[in-house]
Amino acid sequence: MTLDLTLRKDNLYPDMYIVAIAWIYVVLMMAVAEALSTQGTLLGAVFTFLLYGVLPLSIVLYIIGTPARRRARRAAESAAPDGGGETAGEAVAAEGKEP
């Protein structure tokens, strides 16, 4: 089994996944050290993992993924016939009036 990290059109930052995995590993080790310490607690380990790992990483990955989501949305809009879901011939009658 090989790990395919080739540069594709929809994935412009494949190295960021390696950085994200490494960061989660480091934070996990920090949480384990907190949990196993004589002065540490399990609650402290959970907060360490969430506040040093999950929260910042989710924000960074969301910001980095914004251009790809924008490209996908524009591609989906350009694939639609008129940019909407209805055809141009469909008209909506005004309220209380019959066509």
Q: Domain segments of the chain: what residues?
A: 15-79
What's the predicted TM-score (pTM) here? 0.62
Identify the band that residue 78 occupies on the pLDDT scale cut at 50, 70 and 90.
confident
Q: In degrees, to the nearest 5, what angle opens at C-alpha 11 toward C-alphas 5 and 13?
A: 75
DSSP state of 93: P
How confident is the model over 4-17, as pLDDT tens digits? 555 555 555 667 78
Tokens of 79: 């694939």
Distances (CA, A) of 36 to 24, 43, 72, 84: 18, 12, 45, 56
How confident is the model over 30-71, as pLDDT tens digits? 999 999 999 999 999 999 999 999 999 999 988 888 888 888
Residue 94 predicted with pLDDT over 70: no
pLDDT for position 89: 54
